[in-house]
Amino acid sequence: MTSCNHKDGSGEIKILFLHHSTGQGIWYGDQSSSIMERVRLKLGLKVDRKGLLPELFKQYNRQSQRKYQITESYFPKLEPYGWKNYPFDYYNIWVKHAGSEPYMEEPTLEMLTKDYQLIMFKHCYPVSLIEADQDTADINSEWRSLANYKLQYLAIRDKLHQFSETKFVVWTGAAQVKSKISAEQAQRANEFFNWVKKEWDIPGDNVFIWDFYQLQTEGGLYFLDQYAASTSDSHPNKTFSKYAGELLFKRLVDVIENDGLKTKLTGEEM
């Protein structure tokens, strides 16, 4: 397996972006929340248009003599696993069912790390709908609570550390517009995403953060209306998608070349 440690720019780096609809908006750099596009997305049908991220890498490669290739994939697919990419689901596929064979047709890390030197993954905005903790935390539960999320994230981090030659970029979870989330859920989401940045993330390892949540909220609890598709739709609008996509590109290049030390978690310059 080829290491991602190519700070001199030599060697080919293959990047994989695992996502659903919000990720699609950032990938293309525009608003991608129409009903037809969501249907095509869930069915696994690609939209035939140029993406912002691959175009930025193409330009960068040409200008800087690099060999960075980025591709995207819906993960998990609608069938047979289901359209769910929350902490439980990454834990379920990559940790609980780890191995050289796919789980419910979804690739494990043992499979993905053979082909990609950088793997980026995210959650859809329902991840922020965090409920109160139950009596006992349960790593194998799909109940969205702070206690369960933390157990699942710790197990995921331990698993990512097993693939030291691969770099991983994890998005902080997507926020919701104010009309689609309760104040209590928004507070819990804020607590969890801050925990991910301040406690879960370990400096100097092979796991890096892109702080999508901060860009969406600017330090608040909700996805700002001016950045959202509408006051009732938590998908990003065209202006925000392009802005965020450009910052994500900068963050990815910095992670590859400088271990993420020259940009903030958002991708903005230090």
Which range of residues forms the domain containing residue 104?
12-258
How many helices, marked H, and strands, marked E, lie in the chain? 9, 7
Q: For residue 123, what pLDDT band results from cuts at 50, 70 and 90?
A: very high
Q: How many domains is the chain built from?
A: 1
**Would 6 be classed as within a structural domain?**
no
From residue 71, give the alpha-carbon distance in Å to each of 43, 57, 98, 112. Answer: 18, 11, 23, 12
> Does the pLDDT value for residue 46 go beyond 80?
no
Six token digits for residue 164: 């030291």
Where are the strands (E) in the chain, listed by range? 12-19, 67-74, 118-121, 167-171, 207-210, 228-230, 233-236
Burial 125-155 (b: 16+ CB within 10 A, else e): bbbbbbeeeeeebebeeeebbbbbbbbbbeb
**Would 44 be classed as within a structural domain?**
yes
51: nearest Cα among 4, 15, 84: 15
Q: Which of 8-22, 184-198, 233-247, 249-263 has the lowest mean pLDDT?
A: 8-22
pLDDT value of residue 1: 33
92: nearest Cα among 106, 78, 80: 106
pLDDT value of residue 188: 98
Q: For residue 42, what pLDDT band results from cuts at 50, 70 and 90?
A: low
Alpha carbons 53 and 253: distance in angstroms, whole number: 11
> Does the pLDDT value for residue 241 go beyond 80?
yes
**Would 103 be classed as within a structural domain?**
yes
**Would 4 be classed as within a structural domain?**
no
197: nearest Cα among 177, 215, 179, 176: 215
Alpha carbons 96 and 87: distance in angstroms, whole number: 12
* pTM of the complete model: 0.91
**Would 3 be classed as within a structural domain?**
no
> Does the pLDDT value for residue 45 go beyond 80?
no
**Would 122 be classed as within a structural domain?**
yes
Question: pLDDT tens digit string along 144-164?
Answer: 999 999 999 999 999 999 999
More confident residue, 35 or 108: 108
Residue 15 contacts residue 252 (beta carbons within 8 Å): yes
CATH of the domain at 173: 3.40.50.1110
Q: Which of 19-23, 71-75, 236-240 has the lowest mean pLDDT?
A: 19-23
**Max CA pair span of the chain:** 56
CA quadruple 59, 30, 41, 111: dihedral sign: positive
Question: pLDDT tens digit string along 180-225?
Answer: 999 999 999 999 999 999 999 999 999 999 999 999 999 999 999 9
Surface-to-core class of residue 83, CB atoms within 10 Å of its CB (0-12 exposed, 13-18 middle, 19+ buried): middle
Element (H, E) at 134: none
Six token digits for residue 243: 């802005």
**Would 5 be classed as within a structural domain?**
no
Mean pLDDT of 252-264: 98
For the chain, report the end-to-end CA distance as a whole number of angstroms: 32
**Would 225 be classed as within a structural domain?**
yes
